[in-house]
């Protein structure tokens, strides 16, 4: 179910939302469920009714994929409960959540080493890379992009925290203790590898919002 349909996909049944004609996300989902699909893709969960139908579909054996407007993967789970989905239903239906950001990669022809700003020295970086700008990158210092993919895959303990109404910060801290890595930490890796600049990372990912470790409540 999409609004709008951006690409025609061979072998995939696609429904265009048209509220003037009475075709909404919830009504389209109900129609789809009568066809007993294996996989359902909801372009966006915008309201309680859409989220509720999606969660119920997942609990009855359907693989449901969707998007939510949140800042990170853990907050996507909390967003479901904010829309009115019962926490225990959100916890029981969730297989995982992924948050992604695209950061510009430094131009390989004009990147250079520089002293790391204080914020990044606290992350153990003595040096960072920046781009001077050249003909190859049209003076921007960047060529191409690379993705940062934060993956929240809950186990039983994390599901229980979601079901009991735990805050994003506490759930994130518990997940981090189990190996979960935030967008900020993934961005630090990209910095360490010389793939992007500190300015670009701060443009895309907020240090105060996602880390660094020890700064969450």
What is the per-residue pLDDT for 208? 55
What is the per-residue pLDDT for 215? 44
pLDDT, one tens digit per residue, over 95-154 is 999 999 999 999 999 999 999 999 999 999 999 999 999 999 999 999 999 999 999 999
Give the 3-state secondary structure of the chain.
CECCCCCCCCCCCCCECEHHHCECHHHHHHHHHCCCCCEEEECCCCCHHHHHHHHHHHHCCCEEEECCCCCCHHHHHHHHHHCCCCHHHHHHHCCCEEEEEEEEEECCCCEEEEECCHHHHCCCCCEEEEECCCHHHCCCCEEEEEEEEEEECCCHHHHHHHHCCCCHHHHHHHHHHCCCCCHHHHHHHHHHCCCCCHHHHHHHCCHHHHCCCCCCC
Answer for the pair 83, 48: CB distance below 8 angstroms, yes or no.
Answer: yes
- Cα 140 to Cα 43: distance, rounded to the nearest angstrom: 34
The phi, psi pair for 175, rounded to 5°, reads -65, -40
- Cα 124 to Cα 116: distance, rounded to the nearest angstrom: 9
Residue (of 206, 215, 216) closest to 169 by Cα position: 216
Please determine, for residue 162, whether its predicted confidence score (pLDDT) is greater than 90. Answer: yes
Structure confidence at residue 209 as a pLDDT band (50, 70, 90): low
Please determine, for residue 196, whether its predicted confidence score (pLDDT) is greater than 70. Answer: yes
Average pLDDT over residues 190-208: 91
* Cis, bond preceding 45 (omega within 30 deg of 0): no
What is the per-residue pLDDT for 211? 53
- Cα 65 to Cα 9: distance, rounded to the nearest angstrom: 16
Tokens of 123: 């992350």
Q: Bridge-partner residues for 63, per DSSP?
A: 39
What is the per-residue pLDDT for 207? 62
Residue (of 205, 202, 174, 19) closest to 118 by Cα position: 202
CATH code matching the domain that covers 68-209, chosen among 3.50.50.60, 3.40.50.20, 3.40.50.300, 2.60.40.2300: 3.40.50.300
Q: Is 49 exposed, middle or buried (0-12, 13-18, 19+ CB in 10 A)?
A: middle
């Amino acid at each position: 179910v999409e609004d709008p349909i951006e690409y025609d996909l061979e072998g995939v049944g696609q429904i265009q939302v048209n509220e003037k004609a009475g075709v909404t996300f919830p009504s389209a989902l109900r129609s789809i469920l009568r066809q007993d699909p294996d996989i359902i893709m909801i372009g966006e969960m915008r309201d309680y009714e859409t989220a509720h139908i999606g969660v119920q579909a997942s609990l009855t054996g359907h693989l449901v994929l969707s998007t939510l407007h949140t800042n990170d993967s853990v907050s996507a789970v909390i967003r479901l409960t904010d829309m009115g989905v019962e926490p225990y239903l959100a916890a029981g239906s969730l297989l995982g959540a992924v948050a992604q950001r695209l950061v510009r990669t430094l131009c390989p022809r004009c990147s250079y080493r520089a002293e790391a700003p204080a914020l990044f020295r606290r992350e153990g970086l003595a040096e960072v890379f920046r781009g001077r700008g050249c003909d190859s990158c049209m003076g921007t210092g960047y060529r191409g992009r690379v993705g940062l993919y934060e993956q929240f895959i809950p186990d039983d303990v994390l599901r229980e925290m979601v079901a009991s109404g735990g805050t994003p910060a506490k759930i994130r801290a518990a997940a981090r203790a189990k190996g979960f890595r935030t967008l900020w930490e993934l961005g630090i890796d990209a910095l360490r590898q010389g793939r992007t600049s500190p300015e670009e990372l701060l443009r895309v990912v907020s240090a105060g919002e996602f880390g660094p470790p020890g700064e969450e409540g």
